[in-house]
Amino acid sequence: MKTLQRRTRAFIVGALAVACAAPSAAAQDPQPPPAGNARVRPEARQGQGRAVQQADRLEIAELQRLFDAYTVMQAQEALQLDDAQFGQFLPKLKALQQTRRSNEQTRSQLVGELARMTAPSAATVDEAAVRDRLRALQELESRSAAELRRAYDSIDQQLDVRRQARFRVFEQNMERRKLQLMLRARRGAPGQVL
């Protein structure tokens, strides 16, 4: 069991490093300019920008899934749960991760809509539509807080007080590691973060 966990952990760490490094490698190797006096049409540049944004979103989503898997692998050890306890804890942790990810995606979409609606290049601003999006964002934030509270309550019901505290510390440490990994990948620095 321990060997499988180590191999799985090594695979996830390697995949995280590759996933993080891919965007920075692309940023360092820009497309060559067109030959001669050829001009790039603005529509072509916009299409490229959209394709890059979609690729970034996919890479970010994949990176998040990999990191969530890594978090799951580390949780059992960090909280010192036996296999039976971990079997009960795992669906609750995954529910917390899914709740968080779903709410972050929805929030990102709403903020993106607000950015488009209020961009300096927008000819006019539809104030009613902006108000509607702001209200939707406020409702999402309230609903998100309640959903996260329920997910944490579900986890806390299974853990004793010491493990509840350890879980909060564990989450903070994992978030710090994720940021360190992303920063190192952007800088192209070698070394293992996890």
pLDDT of 62 reads 78
Handedness of CA 40, 44, 46, 49 (dihedral sign): negative
What tokens appear for 191 in the block?
């070394």
Q: What angle do CA 127, 128, 130 make, to 5 degrees?
A: 60
Q: How far apart are CA 181 and CA 93, in angstroms?
A: 22
Residue of 144, 146, 158 whose CA lies nearest to 100: 144
pLDDT of 32 reads 45
pLDDT of 53 reads 53
Regions in the chain scoring below 70 on pLDDT: 1-58, 60, 188-194
